[in-house]
Structure 1
Amino acid sequence: MAIQQLTGRAVIALMHALAFLPLSWLRGFGSMLGSFLFVVAKPRRHVTLTNLRVCFPEVDEATRIQWARQSFIYFCQTWLDRSWLWTSSPEKIRKRLQLSGALHELDSPGPLILLAPHFYGLDAAGVAMALCSTRTAVSIYTKQPNPVLDAWIKERRARFGDVLLFNRAEGLRPVIKALRDGGALFLLPDMNFGDRESIFVPFFGIPAATVSSLPRFAQMGRARVIPLLARVTPTGYDIELQSHWQDFPTEDVVQDTTRMSLAVESWIRTMPAQYFWVHKRFKSRPPGEPPIY
């Protein structure tokens, strides 16, 4: 426990110190660190390149390697960016976050779900929504193994506006209640959580285990679904809020989950290096299908 406390406090002190550095310095450090990890982190490099090869077979190998290396760089840059996202003043953060799109959707009455795919700018998107919206922000989180860091991260993510953070272990009931009370649920349903909790829908033409939480939450919470996209830029982040989906959800969970998966695919094609390719998206396979990794 003592070691965890020391480690947690050291990381927190580092994040506070990094926040004072110019953004260009942080991005430079992130570029060097990402390039280094791309060389030494062989298992994750293999996962990343495998994902890109099966999703972009039409792209030449040199381009896929370039995307993979850049993906590692974005991973490190956005990790370092959490220093100022979590500790700096609202004025400083606003200067680095450019919001666009259907911002009026945030003021429309009724529950809403912010569909936020796993692009590296996720944390920036979450902070942007907390800063510009008066709604209660609802999020589901996974507890960190280090209790000091876990408490600090929860406190940092809830420092702007009215924020409700629910541990996955708490179940669906409090999340649905918060939605029906008019909250905005920040939902990230595009990862592989195992085939027991998922259904297989196409993702870049490959059956991928995908949780059907988006249509289920939308139905139970009587909520509109609004895509929220975050793009890393040299000066910070571009955050785009799209118009809410029409005719969603339907009575067909598979159809609705497929719609989500195809939408995520279309967004990835606009910024392929900024997606979380280090994740084993195709780890779960349909019965009889060979492993991909």
Structure 2
Amino acid sequence: MSRLVAGLMWLLHWLPFRLMALLGSALGGLLYHLAGSRRRIGQTNLRLCFPQMPEAERTRLLKAHFVAVSRMLLEYAYCWFASRERLKRMMRIEGLEHLRALDGQPVILVMPHFTGLDMAGLRVSLEVPVVSIYSKQKDAGLDAYVEQKRLRFDTGIVLSRQAGIRPALKALKQGYRFYYLPDQDFGARDSVFAPFFGVPAATITGLSRLAKASGAKALPCYPRREADGYTLVIEPPLADYPSEDVEADAARMNTVIEAQVLKQPEQYFWLHKRFKTRPPGEPDLY
């Protein structure tokens, strides 16, 4: 399976970005109708987060999101095979000066789950050494292949989520920039309930704890998809962060992510059960 996927991606990486987008549009329309369980998760998330939005508009948004996800899947071809120079052209960086200003200091790049996040991580690793955490694939062969491709420029290290946070903290103190994805539901452990679009969401407190333990500055960022590529937007570091209140820090992080989502809602990953873990006594939402 991994050889078949690799061969297909190698062929796709020759395609121009705009043509890849057209293929993604066709695939997204198909997946919207075929992926019933994921479609229902997306419908639930959008209804919870945008209760005032007309249903027809939420449907349009979800269809656009399936297109965005499909484009992202096809664009792994660029992540795996495109040259450094092509990746730099394809993923521009806005706000790199915020990162450069912190040379010599520990930095956490706070990247929510937007489509384009993997290409953005690879792109920023061409500027600074990066450490990131990933979830293992079920297919061991594919997992090893993907890890190899993530490391193909020798510009960073990747760690399995199963290894815990300590290796990442060690790398952060050694000068690696931590590319950190903090916005999915990993259960009640190490989480607090903080509002996300007004809905209590199990929110991991890792960003606050890591920043406190390492003295790192937290720089929010996100990839903005455009007609001819992406722009990785790096925002200024969060001021007075972390505080002494991890719950307040979690709520603040979610507020930052909300603002990013509202700029490009179709790009945010709505197909994950973000509200799976509920406060005691609340019913299952899915």
Same topology, TM > 0.5: yes
Number of the residue aligned with 2:262: 269
Conserved 8 A contact 1:201-1:207: yes
Number of the residue aligned with 2:227: 234
Choose the corresponding residue for 1:191, options 167, 171, 184.
Answer: 184
CA distance in 2, matches of 1:83, 1:204: 33
Matched, 1:126 2:121: yes
Cα distance change, pair 160–104 in 1 and its aligned pair in 2 (3 A): farther
CA distance in 2, matches of 1:165, 1:102: 22
Cα distance change, pair 264–86 in 1 and its aligned pair in 2 (3 A): same
Choose the corresponding residue for 1:18, options 12, 33, 38.
Answer: 12
Number of the residue aligned with 1:45: 39
Matched, 1:292 2:251: no
Conserved 8 A contact 1:113-1:225: yes
After TM superposition, give the deviation of residue 104 of structure 1 in Å. 4.1
Aligned partner of residue 76 in structure 1, secondary structure: helix
Conserved 8 A contact 2:13-2:81: yes
Number of the residue aligned with 1:4: none
Instruction: Output the aligned Cα RMSD.
Output: 1.3
Number of the residue aligned with 2:94: 100
Matched, 1:152 2:127: no
CA distance in 1, matches of 2:79, 2:155: 17
CA distance in 2, matches of 1:264, 1:181: 28
Conserved 8 A contact 1:102-1:243: no
1:84 is matched by which residue type in structure 2?
Answer: Y
Number of the residue aligned with 1:63: 57
1:289 is matched by which residue type in structure 2?
Answer: E
CA distance in 1, matches of 2:164, 2:263: 34
CA distance in 2, matches of 1:40, 1:169: 32
Aligned partner of residue 18 in structure 2, secondary structure: helix
Deviation string 1:177-214 (CA, Å, 9 cap, x unpaired) is: 11111210010010001123321100011100111111
Conserved 8 A contact 1:177-1:221: no
Matched, 1:115 2:127: no
Matched, 1:83 2:81: no
TM value normalised by structure 1: 0.94
Number of the residue aligned with 1:211: 204
CA distance in 2, matches of 1:89, 1:212: 36
1:259 is matched by which residue type in structure 2?
Answer: R
2:5 is matched by which residue type in structure 1?
Answer: V
CA distance in 1, matches of 2:154, 2:241: 28
TM value normalised by structure 2: 0.96
Conserved 8 A contact 1:125-1:228: no
After TM superposition, give the deviation of residue 102 of structure 1 in Å. 4.3
After TM superposition, give the deviation of residue 226 of structure 1 in Å. 0.5
Number of the residue aligned with 2:67: 73
User: Number of paired residues?
Assistant: 285
Aligned partner of residue 152 in structure 1, secondary structure: helix
Matched, 1:175 2:168: yes
After TM superposition, give the deviation of residue 116 of structure 1 in Å. 0.1
Conserved 8 A contact 2:98-2:237: no
CA distance in 1, matches of 2:260, 2:241: 19
Number of the residue aligned with 1:222: 215
Deviation string 1:258-282 (CA, Å, 9 cap, x unpaired) is: 1001111111111111100000111
